[in-house]
Amino acid sequence: MKKIGVILSGCGFRDGSEIHEAVCALLAIDQAGAEAVCMAPDIELNEMNHCSMELTGAKRRVLVESARIARGKIRNISEVQAAELNALVLPGGFGAALNLCDFGQKGAAASVNPEVARLTQEIHAAGKPIGAICIAPALIAAILGKEAHPTLTIGTDPGTAAEVEKTGAKHQDCPVNEIVIDQANRIVSTPAYMLAERISEVYEGIGKCVKTVVEMA
Q: Which residues are catalytic?
A: 134
Is 191:174 a contact under the CB 8 Å cutoff? yes
Angle at which helix 158-166 crosses helix 136-148, to 10 degrees, equals: 30
Q: What is the rounded CA–CA span in Å between residue 91 and residue 82?
A: 18
Is 82:91 a contact under the CB 8 Å cutoff? no
Look at residues 123, 127, 131, 119 and name the one whose alpha carbon lies nearest to residue 212.
Answer: 131
Residues facing 172 on adjacent strands: none
Rounded to the nearest 5°, which phi and psi values hold at 164? -60, -45
Angle at which helix 19-31 crosses helix 62-69, to 10 degrees, equals: 50
Look at residues 56, 159, 141 and name the one whose alpha carbon lies nearest to residue 96.
Answer: 141
Q: Give the distance, in angstroms, between the CA of residue 74 and the centroid of all CA atoms in the same chain.
A: 16
Rounded to the nearest 5°, which phi and psi values hold at 91? -65, 165
